[in-house]
Structure 1
Amino acid sequence: MHRICFLLRVKPERLAEYETIHAAVWPEMLEALKATGWKDYSLFSDGRGLVVGCLQTDDFDAARRAMSATDVDARWQASMAPFFVDPQNPTEQLTPIFHLESQLESASASASASASASASKETPAS
């Protein structure tokens, strides 16, 4: 499962309307997102036009292709285009640089490996 984060830049004067629309997304759109592999999908707004999207998916490129093949996505994107600063390129994917759970898991694995190596050195040979 991959965690994806992206930015959207919404025209500040259209942000309130954009947020209102997202408070009650079309049921058909919700079902299409779910069916095409978008999991735990959220949007966050800074209140000034910057919107951050976060989701989990097995394959983001495949999920986007599947979503773009749906009729509802074409209608949704057409209705949302006027809200974006750059409607031709509304999203900017971010590169992950830190994930708490991954680093904790890595640190735990390193500590376990170090403990095992120390224990094997302390065990007298027969």
Structure 2
Amino acid sequence: MQLKPGVVAEYKARHDAIWPELADLLHKSGIRDYSIFLDEETLALFAVLKLTEDNDRDALPDHPVMRKWWDYMAPLMEVEPGNKPKEWPLTPLFYLA
């Protein structure tokens, strides 16, 4: 994901005060151990999360709470139509278990 310039503090503040209903939705959707990292030089965001086997992550874009969060965060990020954050996959190069 990609932040816009000058909004790092606000992005962090909004996540530090994540809505309880959004946290509950993410947990109920099978998302665990969720972290977001920032590359301060490029303002790129890198999200790491674990999914349960029975996760329902694909249904999140249709949920009203998720859509409301995206609308709330859209001024801070590069977004798709409908305010979904722009995302792109990264190529794994190394993993040590």
Q: Residue 60 of structure 2 corresponds to which residue in structure 1?
A: 67
Quote the offset at 1:55 in angstroms: 0.6
Aligned residues: 91
Q: Residue 23 of structure 2 corresponds to which residue in structure 1?
A: 30
Gaps of 5+ in 2: none
Moved over 2 A (4+): none
In 1, the alpha carbon distance for the partners of 2:73 and 2:65 equals 12
In 2, the alpha carbon distance for the partners of 1:46 and 1:19 equals 13
Q: Residue 87 of structure 1 corresponds to which residue in structure 2?
A: 79
Letter of the 1:87 counterpart: V
Gaps of 5+ in 1: 1-7, 102-126
Task: Please identify which structure carries the higher helix content.
Answer: 1
Match of 1:96 among 88, 92, 96: 92
Q: Residue 50 of structure 2 corresponds to which residue in structure 1?
A: 56
Matched, 1:47 2:40: yes
Identity across the alignment (%)? 32
Give the aligned CA root-mean-square deviation in angstroms. Answer: 1.9
- Secondary structure, in 3 states, of the residue corresponding to 2:21? helix
